[in-house]
Amino acid sequence: MLKFRMSETSYRPRSVFYEEPEPRNWLLSGMLDDHYSEDDIAMFLEEIAKAEAGEPNVVIGNHEVWVKMSADKVIIEDMLYGDDKIKGTVPERTEISLAETKRLVLEWRDAVRRWYAEHREDEEPVVPTSVRSQVN
């Protein structure tokens, strides 16, 4: 079972998957880390529900990775920029089940809530940059 821990050195919630090998560890972190507001996490769960309902090719992206979901699997793929994107570089990727993805996102939501309760009691959460969602 995949497990993450919260980074102790960050200005916002960050997940780390110490027990996973490269590049899987940073791809998994990338899947969670850009979703650190209630709205972003709720949107991610809505996209998971679409995949659970059988909608094909549900895709969500952030600044780090693409998360491509279907009822049977989730592919987490490094988001390429610039020359890497143009020249056909093959992105790093890993796969997990949709059920495991949902479990991680729900655990992430709880961890983020705890993090804000401990670190920003008198402050509003940092407003994240928008997350792109698209269906192919």
User: Does residue 125 sit within a domain?
Assistant: no
120 pLDDT higher than 90:
no
Domain that holds residue 68: 19-119
Name which of 49, 39, 28 is nearest 109 in CA terms.
39
User: Does residue 1 sit within a domain?
Assistant: no
User: Does residue 131 sit within a domain?
Assistant: no
Which residues share a beta bridge with 93?
A: 77
* Angle made by CA atoms 111, 76, 15, in degrees to the nearest 5: 25
124 pLDDT higher than 80:
no
Per-residue confidence band for 132, with pLDDT thresholds at 50, 70 and 90: very low
Tell me the pTM.
0.85
User: Does residue 134 sit within a domain?
Assistant: no
pLDDT tens for each residue of 106-119: 999 999 999 999 88
Cα pseudo-dihedral 103, 43, 98, 20, rounded to 10: -60
My answer on whether omega of the bond before 21 falls inside 30° of 0, hence cis, is no
Question: Quick one: average pLDDT of 100-111?
Answer: 98
- The answer to whether residues 91 and 79 touch, using CB atoms and an 8 Å cutoff, is yes
DSSP label of 4: -
- Say what the pLDDT of residue 119 is: 82
pLDDT tens for each residue of 21-75: 999 999 999 999 988 899 999 999 999 999 999 999 999 999 899 999 999 999 9
Number of domains in the chain: 1
- Say what the pLDDT of residue 12 is: 86
